[in-house]
Structure 1
């Protein structure tokens, strides 16, 4: 036992001598470790920060198309009002809770021109306090342009942007915030157009073709058509 202690002491002494001889290197390494530690801490703080306003989201997050998690509170004609759920790190999160403010992010379906029926459909489809993932693609004023991912069971999920277009409840539009010459822009645009084409082929939603009887009823409900019909009936009566 004494021999082990002696060996350990000798080892520590040699390490101390090496450190004294290479003091500058040790200081440099310590500084590097400290800087690296600060960078890791800074990243952790950003990832654990609860964003309550679109302007709070760092530009770097949008440029890197980061995915965030959130809980849907309301669905309006302006978009989804979402409470951001940040990554939880016990020590950092407990400190941040003391000064984080409350607020909801306005999330819009990127690349989708939503119809009023589309808004109503989303309101029915999303459960109360539904947890979603939203991938940042751009920011316009106080709204975030995103791909919205909804879990449909334990092992499956759907992209809400594509699902709305497949139902014929919107039209594919330009994806705001992405560079038009980027691979991601064309990949997502292709996916959205493919979803829209499915609705068009199946005559769903806004792509549904009216039958002859539907067109006739629409014409008959027109005030101009009714006025013409009344004049025609009056003319017939005058000839009898």
Structure 2
């Protein structure tokens, strides 16, 4: 029995090694659409890099840059056409000002890193980061929330019970809390009680009632 278990464990280890070896080989492949990316890449939350082309309401359009292997890369260029991957900022519900902020702070052709978390149709749910200086990397998902330009949402593509889901969700909530504390972006708006008070004070019936009370006081 022990020998069987040992043999099974060894078989699983070899299978895992084989899969990892093939994933390494696939890293040299240029992906031109979300459907080209192997399911194993998404399941293992592989991190890839790309060159930014467009920022749209649907997401970031990025050209994938694979690991370069001189001979293999030159062959790929001959038969692979240009194609852009559509990246969405996972776990973030963007506010109206977020698109303009991204357009102002990201340069055309800028290199971005994106960690795969999920895939829906032709869009990829990702953690997207950019390098700021030599040793500093900024996660755009968190930065949007820190600027008050969005709200933390469900991290699409990840199981609610997974450790990665809750680790990322906590990061995003902390970023949102910073914007709330500093009243940035959407958090500059008045609180709910302040809005209710303003609506009541501007209500026509209340204004007429105030005028009537004032008239009574003056007539006495």
Higher RCO (C-alpha 8 Å, min separation 6)? 2
Please, which runs of 5 or more residues in structure 1 have no aligned partner? 1-35, 233-240
Select which of 119, 126, 131 maps to 1:146: 126
Q: CA deviation at 1:209?
A: 3.4
Instruction: List structure 1 runs of 4+ shifted beyond 2 angstroms.
Output: 42-45
Alignment partner of 1:194 is 2:174: yes
Corresponding residue of 1:155 = 135
- C-alpha root-mean-square deviation of aligned residues, in Å? 2.7
- Contact 2:23–2:41 under 8 Å retained in 1: no
TM-score by length of 2: 0.77
Corresponding residue of 1:17 = none
Alignment partner of 1:77 is 2:51: no
TM-score by length of 1: 0.71
Corresponding residue of 1:28 = none
Corresponding residue of 1:125 = 105
Q: CA deviation at 1:210?
A: 3.4
Please, which runs of 5 or more residues in structure 2 have no aligned partner? 1-16, 212-220
Q: CA deviation at 1:44?
A: 5.1
Q: CA deviation at 1:131?
A: 0.5
> Secondary structure of the equivalent of 1:106?
strand
Alignment partner of 1:206 is 2:189: no
> Secondary structure of the equivalent of 1:52?
coil
Aligned counterparts of 1:45 and 1:161: Cα–Cα separation in 2: 29
Question: Equivalent residues in 2 for 1:144-183 (5 A)?
Answer: 144-183=124-163
Corresponding residue of 2:79 = 99
Corresponding residue of 2:4 = none
Give the number of the structure whose alpha-carbon radius of gyration is greater: 1
Aligned counterparts of 2:24 and 2:93: Cα–Cα separation in 1: 36
Q: Deviations over 1:98-151 (max 9, x none)?
A: 111211000000000011201110110001211010000000111000000110
